[in-house]
Structure formats: C-alpha cells, structure tokens
Structure 1
Amino acid sequence: MSEIIVQNLLSPVVLFFVLGIVAALVKSDLKIPSALSEALSIYLLIAIGIKGGIELSHYSIESVIQPIMGALFLGIAIPFITIFITRLMKMDLQNSIGLAATYGSVSIVTYGAAISFIEKNGIAYEGFMNALVVIMESPAILVSLLLLKIIEKKKDESAYSMRNVGLVYRPAGLIDKEVLRDSLFGKSILLLLGSLFIGLVLGERAVPMVKPLFMDLYSSVLILFLLSMGITTGQRLPEVKKHGVKLLLFGLITPVLFGSLGVVTGHLAGLSLGGMTLMGVLAGSASYIAAPAALKASVPEANPSVYLGLALGVTFPFNLIVGIPVYYEMAQWIQ
C-alpha cells in the first residue's frame, strides 16, 4: 500500500500539482493565464468524452446497464448522506446543500489523474467508464437543489401553520428552468456529453483524427492543468482553515467513505479491478466546475469558501495523492 502511494506521489502529475501549491504558498508570481486554464479544461473534457464514446461504441446496452444504474445510485445517494452528516455537524441548510451538490457530483481532473494512474500500472478498465462521468455529473446537483426546495417548503408550511400569516408566495416549482439548464447543459456536461456522442457515433473511424491530439498528448496537457490547479488550491487553503477542524475532517473522511461506497457499487455492478477503482474515484471526488456554477446561481447564500475551498483545498489534493491508491487497494481487497 505505502509503495503504491509513494509511486503515485512521485508521478509527474502529482509533483507538478504540488509545485503549484508551493508556488501559491510562497506567494510566487507564477500564474497560469485564465484563458489558458480555460482552454486546458475544455481540452480535458473533450478528450475524456470522445475517448469514452469511442470505447462505448464497442459495447452493447445490456453490458453497460448495471454500471449505469450504479452510477445513478451514487449520484442520488451521496447528497442524502452528505446532508445527514452536515446537519449532524450543525451546519446551516444552504451550506449543507452546497456540500451535498459538490461532493455528490464528480471531479473530471481527479478522474483524469486516476486514468493516468491505472494506465501507468497496466491495469485494464472498461472503456465505458468515461461515459459514467457524464452520468454522475448532474444527478447530485438536481437532487441537492430539490432537497433544498422541499425542506424550505416544509419550513414555510410549518411557519404558516403556526402563524397563519406572513407567508411569502413562491409560484416557482421545486426546480426552476434555470437550474435544470445549468445542471444538464452547463459547459462541462455539454462538452462531455457532446464529445461522448460524437465518439459513440463515429467509433473507430474517429481514432486517426483524434488520437494525435486527444489521446497521445493527454498526459502532458494534464500536467499543465494540474500545475494551474495546484496554484488555485494553494490560494484556497487559508479559506478552509477559517471554518475549523470539523470541516477539515469532513473533507478528508467523506472521500474515503464515498469512495468505499463507489468501489462496492462497482463490484456489485460487475466491473473489473480498474473499473471498480474508477467508480471509487468518481464517488470519492468533489466537483469544482459544474456544481459551483449551479450553486452560484441557485443557492447564493451558500458560502463558496466552504464548498469550493473544501473541494479544491482538501479533497482534491487528498484524492490526488492518497485517495486514488487507497481506492485501488480497496478494489483489490474486494475482488
């Protein structure tokens, strides 16, 4: 186990991420232009999506239905578990919902780093796993926002029954159109889903054109992006410290809890060792692209330094350095 963690720590992907953190902590003038960082994220989304679509074209619907159901289960169950834990921590409702959406959704970059890890170690995995990234992106956001609306509605009804006055009428439904649009057609989901569909339709015919850019250069581009993410993470670390030890422990313990649930779900869905590991990584990761974008528009009361600071400042580096090897070891033990 320790050997695998050390091996992962000494990979270029992790070392460049650490370099970015160090640069931020020592207040270096090293910066990645925002336009370049945006371009790198677009590249990664397309690369993961189109590779998943090409691989998915090799499978029948019968062979992927169980993993898809497993992915949907995780996307729905994790927000409920997160809200239960945060409410035990006496956290306010809005920030609980923020963490539920963030931790229920997935990190594309963590998944990309996990792909590099298992490929470097020669571990086989199902090609359709890239498709599960898309499937797991939206459900948690929708479920979290739905729970917020339901809880708020119950509170309003309770207050109204006690006072019978002062209730503000809200004609909107449980989830408005803007929330649905941001959750289903936000940049990350649109790019993933679109490139996945293109890869699925074209199949192997797409390989000669996409291989030089989106397959051969993938690991090198990931290094550049993780250097950028390291800088951002280092800048977010002070924000996490403001909120105390409880929140820090949440960011360290829940990835292992959810990752374990993901590995077990992958096992029950009939996935291979590599597939179980990736399912664990997806379940244990936290979104810092799609979920924060939806939360900013739909739950402005939630504090970004809590859900975004924790996802980027604690859970992301934990998964990158320790989590991925841990989920792999869990998958090995279960298998």
Structure 2
Amino acid sequence: MDILLSPVILFFLLGVLAAAARSDLSVPEPLAKSLSLYLMAAIGLKGGVQVSQAGFSAEMGWVSLAGMGLSFAVPFMAFALLRSLGGLDRLNAAAVSAHYGSVSLVTFVTASDSLTRAGMAPAGYLVAVMALMETPAIVSGLLLARTAGTARDRDEPAGGGHLWREVLLNGSVVLLLGAFLIGLAIGKDKFQTISPVFVAGFTGLLCLFMLDMGLIAMRRFRESRRLSWRLVAIALALPLVNGAIGLALAAALGLDPGTGAAFALLAASASYIAVPAAIRLALPDADPGIYLSMSLAVTFPFNILAGIPLFSSLAVSLLGWETGS
C-alpha cells in the first residue's frame, strides 16, 4: 500500500518540516477556516449520499452503539494512565482524557481519502458515527472532573445548559450532521449538480488544509513547555491501544477492511476542536498547554504519519481483504 505516498500526507509532512526549519510559510487564517468549512460540508454530503443509496442497516446501528460506548469508556482508561504514569493532577487528567475518548474529523477525512485511493473506501454511515462519538467522551471527562476537588468543580463543572449548548451546537457538529442530512435527502442524482465542487476539488483542497495542520502541529510542539517525556509516551500509546480496541470491535461486528480501518482510526484519534471548546467552558482551570499539545502536537501527527498505514495494514490482515492481484 502506498498510503504514506498520498499527496495529502506528503503536504502534511511538508508543513511539519517547514515549521521545524522555522520557515515563514503560513496559510492565512480566513483561508484555513474556509477550508475547514468546505471539508466538513463535503464529507457530510458524500456520507449522506452513500447512505441514501445503501439505506439504513443493522450494521450502522451496531457500529453507532459501539462507537458511542467506546467514546464513553476510553476516558476512564486514559485518566488512570495520566494519573499513575503521567503524573497529572486530577483536573488536567480529566480534561486530557476527554480529548482521547472523542474523535478527530481531520484524521477521519485524511484516512477516508487514503483508504479510498487504496481501493478500501469506508462505509458512508461512518460520518454519522463520527458525530455521535464526539459527546460521550465529554460527559465522561466531566464526571471524572467532579473528583478534582476545586471550587469550580464543586459548583457543577458541567456548566449547565451553556455547556450542553456548546457541545450539541458546536459548529463542526452542526455542519457535519447538517450536510449529512442534506446528502441523505437529495440522493445521488441531485448531488451530481454540485459534485464538481465537493468531489473533484476535494483532495486538492485537503492538501492545502493538511499543509496548514502540519505547520500548526509542529509549532505547537515547539512552543509547549508542559509536556514531559511520560506525557509524550502516553500520547503515542493511547492511539495504539484505542485503535487496537476499535479494530477488535470492527472484527467482532464483521466490518469490511476499509470500514474497519476507518473505525479503528476514529477510535485512535483525539479531538482538538470540539472537546477543547467544551473543556474551556466547563473546566477553565485546566491547562490547554497540556491537552492541546498532547492531542494536536503529538497524537495527531502520529496518526497521520503512522496510524493510517498501520491500521490499514492490520485491517487488511485481520478482516481478510483480498486485493484480487
């Protein structure tokens, strides 16, 4: 498989190397935000169209339940590691653990593009599963934060209605699910009229977005002052453990290799968009220098450069994909 030679991953690597060399290369902020909106709309639309063709299935229901259960359970395991091995206080351990139970849209989009190019396109319904996996981890993280012992925690760390509004009406979740429902409603025929924008240009624009993500990830890593070698090791171990659990669930559910690999990568990913927004509101005393550096500067590059080829290969072996060659 030539996943590592994907232009998307190579542009990400270019961003990493440029930032490491302290180049002044940058992607303008308005363009970066526009690319984010485009990618979320495109992946949602295409997922909805695929489901409209295939219809809802029992498999979709079981995968959704497995994804939500995994999202809720992972923070408890991550919390234990962060406390015992990482040496974090309870509040920051709870904040970080929520990130590792949730998912990364960009990791999913990159993995889906790479898998599709390798002839292992994942099922379209995973877009909905991904959205469903955002929130349970936040709930787990807030439950764990209740034991943090600060005055803020004792006064309802969940932040009441403001937090739930932040979580459920988060822009990325709204656009992703909204685009999915639009794709579901219009179907393949009506989608053809807008497909030149959302299909033909998808990979090229994703390359520019990944260039920006490479620059941000490396610069965040260079600027971090709170990352110990133990926290870096945990940020590398968690995607391996979580991805392996996701792949085992995929095998138990009888998923095809492409869908199984994508589900494993969802499990392996860590949020750095939706969860930080919720944590900032609910647990303002938690240190973003820790949770953002771990999820964005360590786990995200690891998944892009190593996790995608690793779990794709494992899915081929474990789930019995035949290339036909």
With structure 1 as the length reference, what TM-score do the two structures score? Answer: 0.89
Q: Is the 8 A contact 1:281 1:324 kept in 2?
A: yes
**Is contact 1:16-1:223 (8 Å) kept?**
yes
Deviations along 1:194-239, one digit per CA (max 9) or x if unpaired, are 1111111222243113311112211111100001111101111124
1:221 corresponds to = 205
1:88 pairs, out of 84, 87, 96, with 84
2:247 corresponds, among 263, 266, 289, to 263
Residues 322-333 of structure 1 correspond to what in structure 2 (within 5 A)?
A: 322-333=306-317
1:19 counterpart (10, 14, 18): 14
Q: Cα deviation per residue 1:265-298 (whole Å; 9 max; x = unaligned)?
A: 1222231111110011000011111111111111
Counterpart CA distance in 2 for 1:210 and 1:100 is 39
Percent identity, aligned pairs only?
A: 36
Structure 2 counterpart of 1:283, one-letter code: A
Distance 1:100 1:170, change over 3 A: closer
With over 3 angstroms needed to count, the CA separation of the structure-2 counterparts of 1:91 and 1:54, relative to structure 1, is same
1:240 positional shift: 4.4
Q: Distance in 1 between matches of 2:57 and 2:167?
A: 25
Question: Is 2:139 the counterpart of 1:105?
Answer: no
| Structure 1 Cα separation of the partners of residues 225 and 301 of structure 2 | 15
Match of residue 287 from structure 1: 271
TM-fit CA distance, 1:26: 2.1
| 2:177 corresponds to which of 167, 187, 193 | 193
Letter in 2 for 1:220: G
* 2:123 alignment partner in structure 1: 126
2:234 to 250, 267, 276: 250
* Matches of 1:169 and 1:70, distance apart in 2: 30
1:76 aligns with 2:72: yes
Aligned partner of 1:272 in structure 2 is 256
User: CA shift at 1:124, angstroms?
Assistant: 3.8
1:311 and 2:295 correspond: yes
Question: Structure 1 residues 13 and 33, CA, compared in 2 at 3 Å: closer, same or farther?
Answer: same
Whole-angstrom distance in 2 between the partners of 1:169 and 1:293: 17
| 1:168 to 1:110, Cα distance in 2 relative to 1, 3 A | closer
Q: Give 5+ residue unaligned stretches, structure 1.
A: 157-166
Structure whose alpha-carbon radius of gyration is higher: 1
* 334 and 303 in structure 1: CA distance in 2 versus 1, 3 angstrom threshold: same
Aligned to 2:323: none
CA distance in 1, matches of 2:168, 2:82: 26
Match of 1:10 in 2: 5
The alignment of Structure 1 onto Structure 2 pairs a total of residues equal to 317
* TM-score normalised over the length of structure 2: 0.91
* From 137, 141, 146, the counterpart of 1:144: 141
- 1:171 offset after TM fit, Å? 6.3
Secondary structure in structure 2 of the residue aligned to 1:209? coil
1:52 matches 2:47: yes
Equivalent residues of 1:107, 1:282 under 8 A apart: yes
Which among 141, 160, 164 is matched to residue 180 of structure 1? Answer: 164
Q: Give the C-alpha shift of residue 319 in structure 1.
A: 0.7
Opposite residue 166 of structure 2, the aligned amino acid is D
* Contact kept in structure 1, 2:15 and 2:212, CA below 8 Å: yes
Q: Is 2:227 the partner of 1:230?
A: no
**How big is the alpha-carbon RMSD for the aligned residues of Structure 1 and Structure 2?**
2.0
> AA paired with 1:279?
F
Post-superposition offset of 1:322: 0.8
Give the whole-Å Cα distance in 2 for the aligned partners of 1:169 and 1:236: 28
Measured after TM superposition, the shift of residue 110 of structure 1 is 0.8
Report the CA distance between 1:29 and its aligned residue.
Answer: 1.6
Once the two structures are TM-superposed, the CA of residue 192 in structure 1 deviates from its matched residue by 0.7
Partners of 1:145 and 1:175 within 8 A in 2: no
Q: Is the 8 A contact 1:76 1:140 kept in 2?
A: yes
Given that 2:158 and 2:282 are in contact with CA atoms closer than 8 Å, whether structure 1 keeps it comes out as: no
Letter in structure 2 aligned against 1:179: L
For residues 153 and 50 of structure 2, what CA distance do their matches in structure 1 show?
Answer: 50
CA distance in 1, matches of 2:10, 2:317: 28
Q: Deviations over 1:62-119 (max 9, x none)?
A: 3421111111111111111111111212311121122111111111111111112111
- Contact 1:56/1:131 (CA < 8 Å) preserved in 2? no
